[in-house]
Amino acid sequence: MPVKIPYPVQFNPYKHHFGFLLDEIVRWQAANKNELKEYLQRIGNNICDFYLGALSCHEVCAFCSEYFKHLKINNKQALIIWLGNSDWKKISLPDHSEWLIKPGNLAQRYVHIHPAKYSEHTIRVRATTLKTVLALVIHQLPLQTNATRNLQHVNQIRKDYLDLSPVKSVHKSQSRIVKLWQLFEDKSF
């Protein structure tokens, strides 16, 4: 992973950070496509909250790291005390995005962060949708005006590359795949 996540933060930019993935796509397009499956698997299979804001992955993590340094929370036990009776808390970053904080599962990365649900600059996406769109963009399959052609591309990628079941429809007005695909294409590579 080209970005260094500062300690004590635990963060998976593969499933939570749009800007990080934009940079990765450029790198992935020049790489062996078969090796990319490993990276796409890091996205998992759940619904994820996906940050679209202007803060870089490093900036998000650095703000969180500094936040806890300022509070003098320097270990997992101190974080658990700060959380009190709650499993998680939210903090706001300078761009008004909110981030969920919970205990990390790694000794030196005891602050696990991800975008808060329905926060500013954040959308919810299914991991399978995100993986499908990333594979489409990596393979340079452009979004078409023809929904039938889009459906063919989507299902080809899902079946042949991601081992996912096909979808029934990708009509623009309903398809989260098309909306996310358009979001990535609008950023041009």
Q: Which residues of the chain have pLDDT under 70?
A: 1-2, 33-34, 172-174, 188-189
Instruction: Give the per-residue pLDDT at 1.
Output: 46
pTM: predicted TM-score of the whole model, two decimal places? 0.88
Read off the pLDDT of residues 49-100 as tens digits, 9 standing for 90 and up: 999 999 999 999 999 999 999 999 999 999 999 999 999 999 999 999 999 9
Looking up tokens 């096909």 gives 166
Instruction: Give the per-residue pLDDT at 28.
Output: 85
Nearest alpha-carbon partner for 19 in 97, 104, 89, 88: 97
Q: How far is CA 92 from CA 61, 84, 89, 95, 96, in A?
A: 12, 19, 10, 8, 6
Q: How many residues does the chain have?
A: 189
Q: Are 91 and 115 in contact (CB under 8 A)?
A: no
